[in-house]
A and B are shown apart, each in its own frame.
Chain A
Amino acid sequence: MTSQGIRIGLIGAGRNTRDRHIPGFQAVEGIEIAAVANRSIASSQAVADQFNISGVYGNWQELLEDPSIDAVCIGTWPYMHRTLTLASLEAGKHVLCEARMATSAQEAQDMLDASRERPDLVTQIVPSPLTFKIDRLLQSKISDGYIGDIIGVSVQSLGNAFMDPGGPMHWRNDRDLSGYNILNMGIWYEAMIRWVGRATKVTAMTKVTVNSRKDESGQAVDVTIPDHVGIIAELANGSMANMQFSGVTGLSSGNGVWIYGSEGTLHVDGALNVYGGQRGDDKLAEIPNPEEGRAYWRVEEEFCNAIRGQEQITRTPFEVGLHYMEFTEAVTRSAQTGQTIALPL
């Protein structure tokens, strides 16, 4: 199957699809992006013209009914991921689904269950790419025992801008489109899982600072997705984590990760430089991160290789997507109820 030609259909061709997936697929030998179904036939046509895609469909159902399509790349907002994934699998097509996986843990579970009913089909979620550059370095430092037992993890993803009360409604602010997803919480949690594993208990508090925004037509709409989130968690490895995400922390210190161990500390700064120090050191020092050791974006290649039976999906399988969607939902449930939520749900 090495040289098997694969015909890809795009459902939803937003920015990430155009910037990443289309060039990514075009770089894989034997791949043809055969069709596109965007929100309207006109927008489909525009994408098709720009990228020389021959098939243009007015909606996703028509695309899935096309027997010549082998695999689907779902680039819609989260609210359609479950429906499109299940329909694609039923239509016998491999699925690469944009992140966040779904709007809720239940949807993610449905998607995982559906994928298990079709072991002949590849299912993949677009991975969190934020920390590709440093994932392997952190993993190897931790597994080499550089920090000893992991004690504490701190992940901070704070925006640098002040609250923007007049700001327009973004799909990430729209609960109908995004579900339980908040800011870039799921992306960071997915990255964190790679270094230190999963959470078993989640406690969270959230705040909606800007609770009304204007939609495309200028109409004021209520916002219920938080723009400031504090999370504390217990991890399966026995450590404790705290995570902060915010869109209202003007002039903050931005992004940063700290991993504290019994014998050493690792720190990642906002520019993804990695620093470390061990007992006996008097300060953190930068750890070299040679380019050749780093992971990189190869989502479309991995998807195609998996279809051809040449590799297993590691970035990111549906199981991991379910893990982060459970965490994501647990955050809102904890904030809603004032109770610590145990994982898995």
Chain B
Amino acid sequence: MDNGIIRVGLIGAGANTRLRHIPGFREQEGVEIVAVANRSRESGEAIASEYEIPTVYDNWLELMESDDIDAVCVGTWPYMHRTLVLSALENDKHVLTEARMSMDAAEAHEMLDASRQFPHLVTQIVPAPATLQVDQTIQDLIAEGYPGQLLALKLRVSDGHGRADRSDTFMNTEAPLHWRQNRQLSGYNIMGMGIWYESLMRYVGPATKVMAMTRVFTNQRKDENGIVRSVSVPDHVNVLCEFASGVQADLSWSTVTGLQTGAEMWIFGSDGTIKIEGPPFDKVFVGKNGDKELKEHAIPDNRRGKWQVEQDFIDSIRGTSGVTHTPFDIGVQYMEFTEAVTRSAQSGQVVYLPL
């Protein structure tokens, strides 16, 4: 950190890194993106020239071993997150890792344990972004007691991942294998489930009991080389869970529910109801006992959250704030939930959390 400049190295520069993290870091004063290591030197060079990054490494290990880098942004698929995070910490680098945190709960625990061994280094996971605009307002409503005692939650998500044509929401057996459908790359993660669960935890805390049933409707897909691969990551998921707060929830995610798009979430309390839908999730609808219907609840500008991942990361490195979106211990909670869903679906038994 010469002269207060924070030098960031990118490992894996996929779509989210290019669309979000690079511009995000560029907006921060005193931050330089100094190096990139992508899947190949060629793809690293393409990124470097497009975004004017001075150094390209052949592989991530070389980047980690560089003394000229203070912080690493891990943008790979989940299968590399644990390895890269542990290596970054061992190499005395702050680390921001892309979501989902890891392949499974055990990896997430290792990452959390490692982060605690390096208290001077900042560790952060890219947060669930869909509900950032409304999170604070929902938290405020709950804190004020608007819904009263929280009773039930319902979430339905029609997920677009893996679809060649986003306008066709029906089952698509022809679409090529997406990395989210590849268990070797994604582990227990299923569609956008972990992301949504992370948002739900902001409102009702973590779950204590999970029961799930899942289905793979398209169980073979061609990979990028045209080779048929079997698919074991579900494209349709139903989850029942109980939260420590007493809330009982029905959650569903699917990529095969034709003409259903987007998502809606309802929180039912003893005295009031809160609903969001989207995308975009930029409005909150509420109703209280005695009302005839839900109405829009105005969100004060200063309560509307936004994407500020890179700023949070840099501020935390500088010690001017702490990581709230998202610290590793929250990542562990959603990875435990994620793993519990598959374990319950596999065993036909309730899985209790924490694992």
**What are some 8 contacts across the A-B interface (CB < 8 A)?**
A205-B241, A205-B242, A207-B242, A230-B250, A246-B268, A251-B291, A260-B258, A340-B348
**Interface check B42, CB cutoff 8 A:** no
CA distance A261 to B260 in the complex (A): 12
Instruction: Evaluate contact between B268 and A252: CB separation under 8 angstroms.
Output: yes
Query: Who on chain B is nearest to A342 by CB?
Result: B348
Instruction: Evaluate contact between B350 and A339: CB separation under 8 angstroms.
Output: yes
Complex interface: chain B residues within 8 A of A323 (CB): none
Task: Scan B230-271; emit 1 where CB is below 8 A from any A CB, else 0.
Answer: 000000101111100000111010101111100000101111
CA distance A258 to B170 in the complex (A): 14
Complex interface: chain B residues within 8 A of A340 (CB): 211, 213, 348-349
Q: Which of A205, A207, A249, A277 contacts B211 (CB 8 A)?
A: A205
Complex interface: chain B residues within 8 A of A205 (CB): 209, 211, 240-242, 248
**Interface check A36, CB cutoff 8 A:** no
Complex interface: chain A residues within 8 A of B256 (CB): 151-152, 260, 262
A203-B348, A209-B270, A340-B348 known, 6 other contacts, Cβ within 8 Å: A151-B217, A205-B241, A232-B239, A244-B154, A250-B289, A253-B266
Query: Who on chain B is nearest to A240 by CB?
Result: B215
Task: Scan A162-179; emit 1 where CB is below 8 A from any B CB, else 0.
Answer: 110100000000000000
Q: Give chain B nearest CB distance to A31 CB in angstroms.
A: 45
Instruction: Evaluate contact between B248 and A264: CB separation under 8 angstroms.
Output: no
**Interface check B133, CB cutoff 8 A:** no
Query: Who on chain A is nearest to B254 by CB?
Result: A152
**Interface check B287, CB cutoff 8 A:** yes
**Interface check B67, CB cutoff 8 A:** no
Query: Who on chain B is nearest to A229 by CB?
Result: B248
Query: Who on chain A is nearest to B218 by CB?
Result: A262
Instruction: Evaluate contact between A281 and B287: CB separation under 8 angstroms.
Output: no
Q: Hey, which bits of chain B sit against chain A, CB under 8 A?
A: 149, 151-152, 154, 156, 167-168, 170-171, 209, 211-213, 215, 217, 236, 238-242, 248-250, 252, 254, 256-260, 266, 268-273, 287, 289, 291, 293-294, 348-350
Complex interface: chain B residues within 8 A of A291 (CB): none
Task: Scan A243-284; emit 1 where CB is below 8 A from any B CB, else 0.
Answer: 010101111110000101111110000000000011111111
Instruction: Evaluate contact between A163 and B252: CB separation under 8 angstroms.
Output: no
CA distance A281 to B259 in the complex (A): 8
Complex interface: chain A residues within 8 A of B252 (CB): 154, 242
Query: Who on chain B is nearest to A161 by CB?
Result: B289
Number of A-B contacts (CB under 8 A): 138
Instruction: Evaluate contact between B270 and A338: CB separation under 8 angstroms.
Output: no
**Interface check A198, CB cutoff 8 A:** no
Q: Which of A163, A232, A253, A261 contacts B238 (CB 8 A)?
A: A232
**Interface check A21, CB cutoff 8 A:** no
With A162-B289, A244-B154, A250-B272 known to touch, is A201 a contact of B240 (CB < 8 Å)? no
DSSP class of B's interface residues: helix, strand, loop or mixed? strand
Q: Give chain B nearest CB distance to A344 CB in angstroms.
A: 16
Taking residues whose C-beta sits less than 8 angstroms from the other chain, chain A's interface range is 35 or more
Interface residues of A in 222-246 (CB under 8 A from B): 228, 230-234, 240, 242, 244, 246
Q: Which of A228, A265, A334 contacts B258 (CB 8 A)?
A: A265
Complex interface: chain A residues within 8 A of B167 (CB): 282
With A151-B256, A162-B289, A201-B213 known to touch, is A242 a contact of B238 (CB < 8 Å)? yes
With A205-B241, A240-B238, A339-B349 known to touch, is A260 a contact of B213 (CB < 8 Å)? no
With A203-B213, A246-B152 known to touch, is A338 a contact of B350 (CB < 8 Å)? yes
Q: Give chain B nearest CB distance to A207 CB in angstroms.
A: 5
Complex interface: chain A residues within 8 A of B273 (CB): 249-252
Q: Give chain B nearest CB distance to A259 CB in angstroms.
A: 10
Complex interface: chain B residues within 8 A of A250 (CB): 268-269, 271-273, 287, 289
**Interface check A204, CB cutoff 8 A:** yes
With A201-B213, A338-B211, A340-B349 known to touch, is A260 a contact of B257 (CB < 8 Å)? yes
With A162-B271, A339-B350 known to touch, is A204 a contact of B236 (CB < 8 Å)? no
Q: Give chain A nearest CB distance to B16 CB in angstroms.
A: 29
Q: Give chain B nearest CB distance to A11 CB in angstroms.
A: 38
CA distance A50 to B239 in the complex (A): 51
Query: Who on chain B is nearest to A285 by CB?
Result: B259
Q: Give chain A nearest CB distance to B231 CB in angstroms.
A: 15
With A151-B171, A232-B213 known to touch, is A264 a contact of B258 (CB < 8 Å)? yes
Q: Give chain B nearest CB distance to A243 CB in angstroms.
A: 9
With A201-B348, A242-B250, A249-B266 known to touch, is A265 a contact of B151 (CB < 8 Å)? no
Complex interface: chain A residues within 8 A of B241 (CB): 205
